[in-house]
Structure 1
């Protein structure tokens, strides 16, 4: 992920772990085909279309808040508009199937999604000893500021 990339951040509702998120994203109802990819891509439904979509599509990610912590990210591959069953407009955020764990960071609840500058985003955990700890212990250490 580029430090200059523009990202999105969104809460994951009804999920308590990254593993549970990964399992949910394998459900066919939570994926969509895409002409540029051979596999079905995980998708997130949201109401509003990002005005800065071009910047996001230049390597940005969707950071996910799970149980009060930013815990992971997925690269945003496409943004599409959709017409919902009730006739209202919505947005689909198509993601890379790869879930990348990041340094946990506490985050208060908010509605919808927010922009997240690359310079403000948590670092990836790859190769960090913290990535080997159980998620509950990671959360407790983060909340203690350790």
Structure 2
């Protein structure tokens, strides 16, 4: 059974900023996110699981997980979450801050957005956030 991960995207203010940062990064090396703990549910994560990014208090995007690799940082063992290059926007879903990552059951994951499904797809992040806070979308 598939399971996903939920992770705060610290230091990023918008989905566009994450997209831009990753576009530069992928020119140098495969996309990966280093995390302190190694998920124990590896088989479930690699069976179609994704990393869902929380940006400014909302899940806004996901990336398919393509691998988990051990990383040695001096004496400390870490885990590299290997990511697919496609960053898929999702319907915004509010999330409270947390440390590290959390497992996310597929039934609780927000649906993907495509540009023909939501009028907010190409709007600036700040405008979408304000419209959502006002209850207009």
What is the TM-score of this pair, normalised by structure 1?
A: 0.83
2:5 matches 1:8: yes
Which residue number corresponds to residue 36 of structure 1? none
Q: Once the two structures are superposed, what CA deviation does each residue of 1:79-117 show, in whole Å capped at 9, x if it has no partner?
A: 011111x31100000101110000011111100000001
Aligned: 1:55 with 2:44: yes
C-alpha distance in 2, partners of 1:101/1:131? 8
Structure 1 equivalent of residue 81 of structure 2: 93
Q: Flag as ranges the 4+ runs of structure 1 deviating above 6 A.
A: none
Corresponding residue of 1:121: 109
CA distance in 1, matches of 2:27, 2:41: 23
**SS of match in other structure, 1:141:** helix
Matches within 5 A, 1:22-33: 22-28=19-25
**TM-score of the superposed pair, with normalisation by structure 2:** 0.88
Which consecutive residues of structure 2, in runs of 5 or more, have no partner in the other structure?
A: none
Once superposed, what is the RMSD of the aligned Cα atoms?
1.9
Ranges in structure 1 where 5+ consecutive residues have no aligned partner: 34-39
Q: Deviations over 1:47-99 (max 9, x none)?
A: 11111110010111000011111100000000011111x31100000101110
- The answer to whether the Cα contact below 8 Å between 1:74 and 1:98 also exists between their aligned partners in 2 is yes
Shift of the alpha carbon at 1:32? 9.5
> Which one is further off, 15-24 or 87-96?
15-24
For residue 126 of structure 2, what is the aligned residue in structure 1?
136
The aligned length equals 134
Cα deviation 1:24-44 (Å, max 9, x = unaligned): 22344xx599xxxxxx42110
Q: Secondary structure at the match of 1:83?
A: strand
